[in-house]
Homo-oligomer: A and B are copies of this chain.
Amino acid sequence: MSSIYSYEALPVAEWFRRNRELAGFHNPARALYQTIRELVENSLDATETYGILPNIYIRVSIEDEQKGWASVYVEDNGIGIPGNEIPNVFGRVFYSSKYKIKQHRGVFGLGLKMVVLYSQSTTNKPVYVRSSTIKSDKIYEYQIMIDTNNNSPIILDRREYPNKYKWHGTAVKVYLEGNWPAAKKRIEDYLKRTAIIAPYAEIILKSPDLELWLKRRTTKLPPPPKEGLPHPKSVDVDTVKQMLLESRNMSLLEFLTENFDAVGEGTAKAFLEWAGFNPNTKTTALTPEEIVRLVEKMKQYEGWRRPRADWLSPVGSELLEIGAKAILGAEAVFAVTRKPESYSGHPFIVEVAVAWGGQIPPVDKPLLLRYANKIPLLYDEGADVARKIVDEFNWQNYKIKFPAPLAVITHICSTKIPYASAGKEAIAEVPEIEKEIRLALRDVAKKLRLYLSRKEKEMELLNKYISLAKYVDEIAHNLSIITRLDREPLEKNLYKLIEKKIGLTIDELIKHTLSTQLTQQEETIAAA
């Protein structure tokens, strides 16, 4: 009987090591992809969030073909990690930069440790880390493993060097069981899609049979997200309890105005009166039941201002257009950044772009590139709300007949992305977000329709010109015989006549019709 009633406590790091599928480490191909993704996203967070233009260098090597071992080295020019923090940041699960309410790529803060755990599980090798913080005099080098039974770092090697050239950033190298041939395509897609959404980043990949140099297309960075406070509609009882514990003995009124987003004194007073609380009650005097009631009322109250969106960092339509043109090689791109909205107290912004023609091949339904907080989403497209909306969209209304060379880019940024699954790969069907995507899509589709109409009209004009122009030669020849005038000026005049008739010079016409990129200035000229 004893055997069926036997229990044990599993150390946290050991639990994650055993359940690594939870974080995307399913097999050697997926694990290699996930490793690169986690390291690159950490690098982007360590740079652009602090106003630094990202330089990211990635090297994948095959270390032992027979064993199926690869190595991944990623180096960035980010803010770096303080020397004494490096062991914990790489060697302790649930240890990370302080939890703040703002938009960030990492959702579960677990990716880096999963990389280390997977790496040591498969090759028994430590992670190599080199880092220096901004203005630091020293560069630190570590070799670290995780003691999974105690969730603590094992430091195998530690060195310090003088930081002569004031380098700052982080370099990481891991050895892992990784299937490069099977992962290559996904990794290439992932990096290219990252370059679309972050055209201010310079990303270099070196690998056995693929070199990518994704150049910086602009030096403009999106505004970094600001740290924020929670919105009163988005907190739960445990969070409020924690906040009350951390707050000094203050009045309810002070507690609300100091700890919550979009709550001024007026709003707080109105709410407390509505909810039946005395604004002067000390927070320490609240009973557990009163705390629960307070949180319920906060959820129900309709008078809050909507959450502020300056915690969010959208890419902006300008950067989206630059990225999509450069990486997709599109003929034309139209992008829009919608105004901030919110769902259940979480602010969000939707951005959508359509890219047309150029190197985009004709497809039966639009190619879809999905992003969430600037992360490209590559898996589970069928489960994503954006795929649903793009498929249901009435493209015929916008002069588009498939097959068409059309790509749609969607980007959702929020302090809380509603992923449909824990795999961080698909956005769930939240009505507020659906509505915004639909409106944004309509905006850009309208611009695309206008562009296509103009292109059509110009094509008609060109055809007209061509059909008239083919007689110029003959007419000029005959006229010159009859009038004894030089043929050349006659020809010129005839062309001018045609140009006058169609209202455009041939140079303008050719430029517009054949141009692969129609900028707004050109549109203005064409419309004039």
Chain A residues near B (Cβ < 8 Å): 1, 4-12, 15, 17-19, 21-24, 26-27, 50, 66-67, 79, 81-82, 85, 88-89, 92, 94-99, 107-109, 120-124, 133-134, 148, 236-239, 288, 291-292, 296, 300, 344, 379-380, 382-383, 418-423, 425, 428
Contacts and interface: CB of A to CB of B under 8 A. Distances in A.
B418 A120 contact: no
Contacts of A120: 237-238
A487 B360 CA distance: 84
Contacts of A379: 383, 420-421
Contacts of A96: 7-8, 10
Contacts of A67: 296, 300
Nearest to A64: B296
Contacts of A23: 422
Contacts of A428: 26
B124 A288 contact: yes
Given A17-B238, A94-B9, A98-B8, A291 B421 contact: no
B9 A422 contact: no
Contacts of A18: 99
Contacts of A97: 5-8
Contacts of A12: 12, 94
B8 A99 contact: yes
A94 B292 contact: no
A10 B288 CA distance: 24
A98 B8 CA distance: 5
Given A50-B4, A82-B5, A21 B94 contact: no
A92 B9 contact: yes
Given A8-B96, A94-B10, A124-B288, A134 B15 contact: no
Contacts of A239: 121
Given A21-B418, A66-B300, 6 more contacts: A8-B97, A9-B88, A18-B99, A24-B422, A67-B300, A380-B383
